[in-house]
A and B are shown apart, each in its own frame.
Chain A
Amino acid sequence: MAYLSESILTYILLAPLVGAILIALLPDRGKLPAWIGLLTTLVTFLLTLHLPAHFMVGQHGFQFEINRTWIENPAISYHVGIDGLSVWFVALVGLLAPIGILVSWNVIQKRRKVFYALFLVQQTAMFGVFLSLDLILFYGFWELSLVPMAILIAVYGRKDGPRAALKFFLFTFIPSAPFLVAILWLYAHTGSFNFSDLQMLIASGSLPAGALFWVALAFLFAFTVKVPVFPLHGWLADTFSEAPVALAMVVAGKLGLYSMLRFHIGLFPVQARAIAPLLVALAVIGLLYGACLALVQRDFWRLLAFAAFSHLSLITLGIYGLTFTGWDGAIYQVLNHGVVDAALFLLLAILEMRFGTSQIAAYGGLARKVPQTATFFVIASLAMIGLPMLNGFVGEFLILSSTFIGVSHSWAIAATVGVILGAAYMLWLVQRIFYGPEEALALSADGKDLRPVEQLALWPLAALMLVMGLAPSLWLPTIESRTGPPTFRSASALSRFNSSPVVQVGGQQ
């Protein structure tokens, strides 16, 4: 077991890659690629579960750390490690992967080899982003994550795949130009790409403050586009409505939010504090704007895209409120969002496959025809809305209460309005699809209810929604033992359940 712990992170990174190579080498016959994919992702998921199981709660610094020189000059190292921030992100990606494969089981009919191989490469890239503690390594995985996504959108897009893929790629690739220059500038002035070293050096104040402002901004710009934060969300709706369901649910939001916490606030606490008011405002605007857009969509993929945009904005609000409670809530909410969104994506994909359309108006009164689908959909919607006892509630409550106490009353009230709008569009969607008069579609098409494979994917998600809602204490202690920015570190132990703004705590030191 000790041996496993030593290089577990390498195994997690390599496992999907091995699966991808295996799929690429073996013939594209029947469901063989899908089976290999499922097996690989299950093994990877078990590997990721090793991390929370052996995670030392309360220990500061990174765990399961591996630090080896990769290239001597410039000094790039293979440096990976996890802390309370990343451990559950990794497990979440691990969990979503087999579900993503199950989602694609019947949907992907042609060129399975391409799909499953690239899907697994995407897994490696995402794990890499969450594990890397070397900026170039991080940048590498960050960029790598674009490629499988873009190709798969282009190949399996619903209507105009290549256009959506190009939009997605350019939107996220171009901001990484200033991002890379910023990394290179840091290296030119510090001689290090190492996260912990850079954290110390930047905190020591030896770097010119004026330039650091731009460097921090370049980092932030790349991350906000990826989340996305208002007004940089242009790519999201097209990507969600074109991307294969499995990828959309695996990718959505997590990378950007994690990077904000780790590499923007983590590296540049001073600059983050300076720019936080702007981001709080943008987040609230995005929250309201996304909710309003979701209300008027006719296509349920686009509705889900704007709903996700709205929820991701709420998480951004939690992050840039710069309170410990807000951060706990934000991280927890990312996990919730991953689980709930996966369920919703899966259910909508099932509907689209059975009834052949994503136009909401075509549906109506389906509850009688597909009762199990309807039940799962209602549970997931309620979790998304934030009904107490389900997981969405915990995260939203932490974020909103920390904003109310720690940031400003008015922003918190505005955000709450957005959450209420969220309830409106979700419930209205449920009503339009499953209840009301039965439309011709529901009567004519011989849509079947859930298949065993689909049940297999949905039950764990529904169970998680409930457990995460009832017992957040299973998760929160781990989340709280993360490595904060250096100035905040000593405070973090004190103010576990204290919503006092970090800005003041940090300022007093």
Chain B
Amino acid sequence: MRQSPRHRQKLPWPILAIALLAFAFILSPFIGLLWRTPWSKFTDIVVKQEIRDALWLSLKTSLMTAILCVIFGVPLAWLLARVNFPGRRFIRALMTLSMVLPPVVGGIALLYTFGRRGLFGQYLDSWFGIRLPFTTTAVVMAQCFVAMPFLVLSVEAGLRQLDSRFEDVARTLGGSRWYVFRRVTLPSIKPSLIAGLVLAWARALGEFGATITFAGNLPDMTQTMPLATYAALDSNPESALILSLVMVAVAFSILIALRDRWLGRADQGPPL
């Protein structure tokens, strides 16, 4: 299975040069951010109430989103990977649409569906008195809408690669469908599940367009880190820089932490 350890390939120099350019391009904005960061004010700004509120709200909503994505995304991935039904490819394209859509379009769509005058929202309001916009629930909905496809696609790919004979054997040995799903299928797709979870969580953490359009922007209610950063750009650019840096640090440390633990090493090939 595994290739001979790190056999060195000689790259043609133009490709190497282009690769280095790409590397520099992706890296340089982070250096620019570090360069402009007012380090002396770092601690003063980080402990500010509104920044702690935004950070806490972001963590809370994105974790909630990650959990909901697993609960709803895994069955959906299973349906797309394992069940043959007419128009499956079309359905799959629809399910992943929100991944390629500009998030603000997703926000408008959510507004006109679940808003107070929206397709379903009007009944939520008149029958149950539930109003979603401008609530933390709306933030989670916006995040789920854009993040779920990342989990679904990853888990679906994992399910497709999985040799279904293992499950068949477990079934012939008397395992119930639920037992086989829990004890055979789920453990086998763990790497792709974790990868999808991290991608979805990261996408939720960075969500801006759909959130501000559907959920609005109110500190401690709907103002997540990206929204707080954008708002701070006007009032206090130094806060915006420090907020940006905090987000870079959070995202980067999660990627590093998860990479070694669950995602496998790069030379083993990623599960995606």
Chain B binds chain A: no
